[in-house]
Amino acid sequence: RYQKDSRQVVQYFEEDLKKQEEIRLHVISSIDKAIQNQWLRVYYQPLIHIQSGKPAGFEALSRWEDPVYGLLTPDKFVPSLENLRLIYKVDLNVLSTYGREIQKIQKIGLEPLPISFNISRTDLESGIDLYGEIERIVNALAIDKNLIHIEITESALNGDSLIMPQAIEHFHRMGFEVWMDDFGSGYSSLNVLKDYPFDVIKIDMEFMKKFDERSKQIVRSICEMATSLGTRTVAEGVETKEQLQFLQQIGCTYAQGYLFSKPKPVQEFFSLLPKRPSNY
């Protein structure tokens, strides 16, 4: 009996791997088609300004709505596209999609809120002119640069190369805020704070998942340090009122998480957007 069961487990596991490999090959061979046919969608998750309780903006997160495989979350397509240095296509698609959405939002008499979008380290190593591409999209769609912030994950800063410090400086010169994603998930945290002038630090959601005394004390210290450096903070993965209350006490700037909303298509958030001031 035992023999039979374990064989079956192995069999499921192998089918799973086969399916994953199939999706990986599908994703890398159809990335251009996915963008052309709008299989790549942008979902938005609100960031709440903790002191006022008001929505302050959104994180833009990609989804792949595949006609065969259904809705694919980023773990199904981001790593394989990163490996081939093709993820910049997804990242630029987020920017141009929000640019078009801003125009729709304004047309119906609402004000857009800022978004932050994720870029991968390989965007800067793929040989394309990333800065030029971003500038071109921003100009073509007349996007206000204050509405766009760039998220760079802490792990992208690993290694000695100058590519990331130069990128941060370049994005600043272009007029974008640069936000550090997943702070505390790597081993370089303090150096990173010392060396890079990030506008916002997003605290990795592991601290909210654990939420024991130790994690809370670390989050408190990160927020104190950030505040004294003039840097705003986001707590990621906020799921309970208890967590929110704690974040309010320690002076964290924004909260993001399922307590407020999962990531959803833009029209789900129209009711959160301010009305456009009239000209009268």
Contact residues toward Mg ion (CB under 5 A) are 118, 151, 181-182, 236
Stretch 20-49 residues interacting with ligand C2E (CB under 6 A): 45
List b or e across 68-88, with b for residues whose CB sees 16 or more CB atoms inside 10 angstroms. Answer: ebeebeeebbbebbbeebbbb
Residue number of the CB atom closest to ligand C2E: 257
56 phi and psi angles, rounded to 5 deg: -110, -10
Q: How far is the CB of 103 from ligand C2E (least distance, A)?
A: 20
Q: Does 90 bind ligand C2E (CB under 6 A)?
A: yes
Can you tell me the distance from the alpha carbon of 172 to that of 167, in angstroms, rounded to the nearest whole number? Answer: 8
Query: Helix count (H) and strand count (E) of the chain?
Result: 10, 9
Q: What is the DSSP letter of 110?
A: B
Q: Identify whether the C-beta of residue 133 lies closer than 8 Å to the C-beta of residue 92.
A: yes
| Of the residues 47, 50, 86, 94, which one makes contact with ligand C2E according to CB under 6 A | 94
Q: Quick one: what does residue 55 bind among Mg ion, ligand C2E, none, with the CB cut-off 5 to 8 Å set by partner type?
A: none
Binding window for ligand C2E (CB under 6 A); candidates: 24-32, 139-147, 192-200, 253-261:
253-261
* Of 91 and 151, CB closest to Mg ion: 151
Q: List the single partner that 46 binds among Mg ion, ligand C2E, none, CB under 5 to 8 Å by kind.
A: none
Site pattern 120..139 for ligand C2E (x: CB under 6 A): x-------------------
Q: Are 44 and 60 in contact (CB under 8 A)?
A: yes
**Eight-state DSSP code of residue 69:** T
Going 219 to 220 to 221 to 222, the CA torsion angle's sign is: positive
Interaction between residue 231 and ligand C2E (CB under 6 A):
no
If the CB atoms of residues 55 and 257 are measured against ligand C2E, the closer one turns out to be: 257
What's the token pair of residue 20? 């994953």
Rule CB under 6 A: choose which of 91, 101, 154, 177 binds ligand C2E.
91
- Choices 100-108, 115-123, 129-137, 219-227; region in contact with ligand C2E by CB under 6 A: 115-123
In sequence order, what are the beta bridge partners of 179?
151, 200
Q: Is 97 in the site for ligand C2E (CB under 6 A)?
A: no
